[in-house]
Amino acid sequence: MENRDSEKLLKLLTKNEDEIIEYKVNNNDHERIGKYISALANSSAILNRQFSYLIWGIDDDSKEIVGTKFYPKTEKHGGEPFITWLERMLDPRITIRFEEYDIDQNHVVVLVIHMNAGRPVAFGGNRYIRSGSSLKNLKDYPEKERELWKSFEARSFEKEYAKTACTFDEIKELLDVNSYLKMLGHFVGSTDEEIITHMINDGIVEPSGKTFNLTNMGAFTFAKNLKNFENLSSHALRVIRYNGNNKLSAVADNTASKGVAVGFDGLLKFINSHLPRKPETLKENGQITSDTDYPPLVIREIVANQIVHQDFSVKGSSPIIEIFDNRVVFTNPGSPLNRPERLLDMPPYSRNEDLANLFRKMHLVESRGSGIDKIILTLELNHLPAPDITAKDNYTVVTLHQRRTIQEMGNREKINAIYYHSAILYIEDDYMTNSTLRERFGLTNKQSSVASKLISLALENNKIKIYDENAGKKNMQYIPYWGIGYNE
């Protein structure tokens, strides 16, 4: 065992924190181990600690290292690997890690429990808590349960620790410090002391004695390699390019390896290189181009919002961008905090306010809102279909479709475009008319009857309404269904 690991373990043994550390010698009762994980995780949440520990091979009274015969990695539970069974029985599936050491020929096992959930942890359907060194059912302690829920309200994913007790040299090994300095507008030639001060002020690290704790936000944004952070790599963006309009055959599948800030431009370039393109054309200046139906600004805004608004408590799922021949689908963990169709006009909310603020400082997201207005306007100016934004189970899905004529669009797609057209005009203190809708769809003046039929379709589906019922037919104006009419 390395000296540093030994020192870390010995430091744990000196802690007198009964509610987040439990010592065993040879106890391998699987059910009881699961209950202890639930109790220790919930107790650490109440105490605002990220980690708790279950240690085998230590005498509980004397804290003497005596060794254990417990080998979790070879244990079975009814034919199933013990650790697999244990993880399956936990809800939510928090991160647990078994570490095995040999100290002076004594076998020691440390179970590191990372409390990274936003709700109480249950084992086998029951939630447990520590009361002193005793194991109790949480439902029998309502005051503890209230205290536990309050602790979740005060916690944020960004401020939790990706790595603890890091030296500054280790921070420099883990993070792209030069990119951090450039992107936040700090002087690249800053001294180590100045860099640390900047990082503390920006929420990248927190001081811990002579070392530093690296926050999730710092690691997630500026990591050289997200694989160095077990709890963060599962949240990296994944891009899949399919052959055709279905998922039968993928021609490219890439998961981002860098932190989301330092890897942002590279990620956008990768997406752009795999977007469906039209046949090459020769411009007047002799340049050969191949256009796409997906404007770079729209892709950038949606990807940035995926990063900032994902729900980090949804385990085993990451933001995904799926590129088909006829559409691009962006899927993000977490339902939208506003109703999907109201993202345009409602005040913006963010699950991850610290991360959102950091992205605003780096000018990677819109500083005044969600950027949805930019997306709608850009698509309208290019006569492209409106985005299809939906909430599915615990996910938000945004779909961009390739260019289509009005004849090629289905009714749902037409209504969606009309709704967003009326909404974007309404928030600009303007109104939709037959004329503006013709312009939106690239229709000629002679096609006013087509626009009238489209307006009737949206009215019938209650997505828009007439602003002033008493206005003449030629002067009729329309607003989104939630807008305030003339006589309201």
394 touches 335 (CB < 8 A): yes
| Residues spanned by the domain of 183 | 161-231
Nearest to 21 by CA among 29, 30, 31, 11: 11
User: By percentage, how much of the chain surpasses pLDDT 70?
Assistant: 91
Could you tell me if 313 and 373 lie in one domain? Answer: yes
Provide mean pLDDT across the span 292-321.
91
Pick from 96, 126, 155: which residue ends a domain?
Answer: 155
Strands 205-208 and 211-215: antiparallel
As given in the structure block, the two tokens for residue 100 are: 């095995």
40 touches 20 (CB < 8 A): yes
For the residues of 305-327, what is the DSSP string, one character each? HHHHH--TTSTT---EEEE-SSE
The per-residue pLDDT for 149 is: 85
Pick from 135, 155, 175: which residue ends a domain?
Answer: 155
The per-residue pLDDT for 15 is: 63
169 to each of 166, 191, 192, 196, how far by Cα in Å? Answer: 8, 13, 10, 11
Pick from 155, 187, 204: which residue ends a domain?
Answer: 155
Could you tell me the CATH number of the domain that includes residue 351?
Answer: 3.30.565.60
Could you tell me the CATH number of the domain that includes residue 134?
Answer: 3.30.950
- Number of structural domains the chain divides into: 4
As given in the structure block, the two tokens for residue 88 are: 């399956």
What amino acid is encoded at 99 in this protein? E
Could you tell me if 453 and 305 lie in one domain? Answer: no
Which carries the bigger pLDDT value, residue 7 or residue 316? 316
Q: Is residue 488 part of a domain?
A: no
Report whether pLDDT(104) > 90: no
Could you tell me if 150 and 289 lie in one domain? Answer: no
159-163, 303-307, 456-460: the lowest-pLDDT one: 159-163
Could you tell me the CATH number of the domain that includes residue 436?
Answer: 1.10.10
pLDDT (tens digit, 9 = 90+) per residue, 358-390? 999 999 986 555 688 899 999 999 999 999 999
The per-residue pLDDT for 12 is: 67
Report whether pLDDT(348) > 80: no
pTM given for the model:
0.75
Average pLDDT over all residues of the chain: 88
3-state SS class at 208:
strand
